[in-house]
Amino acid sequence: MTAMTVMPREYADWTIGDLERLPDDGLRYELLDGTLLVSPAPTRIHQRAAFELGHILRRFCPEGLEVVAAPLDWQPDDRTSLQPDVMVLADRDLATAPADSTMLVVEVLSPSSRRKDAVYKLSKYQDEGVPSYWIVDPDESSITAHELRDGRYLTVGRAIGDTALSLDQPFPVTIVPADLIR
């Protein structure tokens, strides 16, 4: 039987400092408003979709912006540290991805992350003012794009399968969801 180490805690909320002391055990540890989120390693189809989308975005990314893939911490405060699957950042010189330099966040859904990505993370990115948030569902072969308008995300595009989705933010790009998982 494998012993599990539990970190002693004197308080309820987790911080980035606590997160940095967790073991490197293959699990994904994230914080959302002081709550620890633990996810298994992503599936192969999840990784394929994230990699292909990152590749497409890099081809069209203008100078001055940068496309990065997980794991890179997005830390808008001391109680939140998320690792979006793909991000577009406006500042190439920072070790983390602060909210004010993040132009786009993309989450690729997994069976263990659907509610977390589509509800909780969407709410956090919206509250922190991230201009664009996309959700890729490799099981459905779809992409849904949201843009921040008057402090709220509005769905500005959705495509399934071989239907192309053309978007203008954070820069002009066309994506065919089926191409992400072929």
Quick check: 107 and 121 in contact, CB under 8 A? yes
Assign 30 to helix, strand or coil.
strand
Which of 106, 102, 109 has its CA nearest to residue 85? 106
CA distance 98 to 113: 22
Give the pLDDT of residue 98.
64
Q: pLDDT of 49-62, one tens digit each?
A: 999 999 999 999 99
The CATH homologous superfamily to which domain 42-180 belongs is tt1808, chain A (3.90.1570.10)
- Report residue 2 CA to chain centroid gap: 32
Quick check: 84 and 107 in contact, CB under 8 A? yes
DSSP 109: -
Give the pLDDT of residue 96.
61
Give the pLDDT of residue 25.
84
Which residue ranges make up each domain of the chain?
42-180
Give the pLDDT of residue 34.
92
Which of 27, 56, 2 has its CA nearest to residue 176? 56
Q: pLDDT of 135-164, one tens digit each?
A: 999 999 999 999 999 999 999 999 999 999
Report residues of the chain scoring pLDDT below 70: 1-11, 92-99
160-170 burial by CB neighbour count: b if 16+ within 10 A, else e? Answer: eeeeebebebb
pTM for this prediction: 0.88
Which of 102, 108, 101, 107 has its CA nearest to residue 43? 108
